[in-house]
Amino acid sequence: MNIAEWARARGFSAELTRMVLSGKRKCLRGQSHQIAVALGIKPQMTAPMDTKD
């Protein structure tokens, strides 16, 4: 499977996927972050827990 097929199968832009793989995006939020998580490059971020009682 090539990059474009992988991206299309998951609903991502092939161009943005290439940018994530080449390190041209920081992948801090949005679709670039989602791509990095799907690729296994970054862990899934979860919302911080509210510690107030």
User: pLDDT of 24-36, one tens digit each?
Assistant: 999 999 999 999 9
Question: Cα 34 to the chain's mean position, in Å?
Answer: 3
**Residue 47 belongs to a domain:** no
Which tokens sit at 15? 């161009």
pTM: 0.79
Q: pLDDT tens digits, residue range 2-24?
A: 999 999 999 999 999 999 999 99
Range of the domain at 11: 3-39
Asked whether the beta carbons of 45 and 52 are under 8 A apart, the reply is: no
* Token pair listed for 33: 């972050």
State how many domains the chain has. Answer: 1
DSSP state of 42: S
For residue 47, pLDDT beyond 90: no
Query: Is residue 44 assigned to a domain?
Result: no
